[in-house]
């Protein structure tokens, strides 16, 4: 019934149909893989953008931290200077010569009492300001050495510039 030519023709057609079906299936899988790859690529791009934003924010934060650190170091140095100045008040006179504060207290008790009371008032005001109390108009306006709080001029009198 079927001749050899018909069988070869049928097998050839069957092979062609199978190849077209396999090619169609392969192309369909390629398209699905492409869609998956595009979705993955979009997610990766979004991740890269988020990391770049995070790095930029971290750099801004580092800059702020460095600025705050510089400010803290300046403040610490000013406080060290104030502490040194306070220490010298007991061991040196106004000219910078050494003195014995205990001997001065024994010789002139009224003077020392007045100095200690004024110093205590000034120191208490320094603590008030450091604790958040607002400065008075007089403290802000002080420009001369006779007007300032000598215990903490950097805190109490920010507009005062010491002579160099």
Distance of CA 25 to the CA centre of its chain: 58
Distance CA 58, CA 52 (A): 10
SS3 content of the chain, % helix, strand, coil (to 5): 80, 0, 20
Of 8-17, 44-53, 57-66, 148-157, least confident by mean pLDDT is 148-157
What is the SS3 assignment for 136? coil
Record the tokens describing residue 56, joined without a space. 């930029």
Joined tokens for residue 74: 């300046």
Distance CA 136, CA 147 (A): 12
State the pLDDT confidence band at 92, using cuts at 50, 70 and 90: confident
Segment 13-25, tens digit of pLDDT: 999 999 999 989 9
């Amino acid at each position: 019934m079927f001749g050899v030519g018909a069988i070869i023709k049928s097998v050839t057609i069957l092979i062609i149909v199978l190849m077209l079906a396999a090619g169609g299936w392969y192309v369909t899988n390629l398209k699905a893989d492409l869609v998956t790859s595009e979705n993955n690529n979009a997610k990766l791009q979004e991740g890269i953008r988020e990391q770049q934003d995070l790095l930029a924010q971290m750099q801004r934060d580092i800059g702020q931290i460095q600025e705050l650190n510089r400010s803290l170091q300046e403040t610490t140095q000013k406080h060290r200077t104030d502490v040194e100045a306070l220490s010298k008040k007991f061991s040196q006179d106004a000219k910078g010569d050494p003195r014995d504060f205990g001997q001065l207290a024994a010789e002139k008790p009224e003077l020392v009492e007045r100095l200690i009371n004024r110093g205590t008032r000034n120191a208490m005001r320094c603590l008030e300001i450091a604790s958040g109390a607002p400065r008075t108009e007089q403290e802000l306006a002080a420009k001369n050495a006779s007007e300032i709080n000598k215990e903490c001029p950097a805190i109490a009198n920010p507009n005062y510039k010491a002579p160099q």
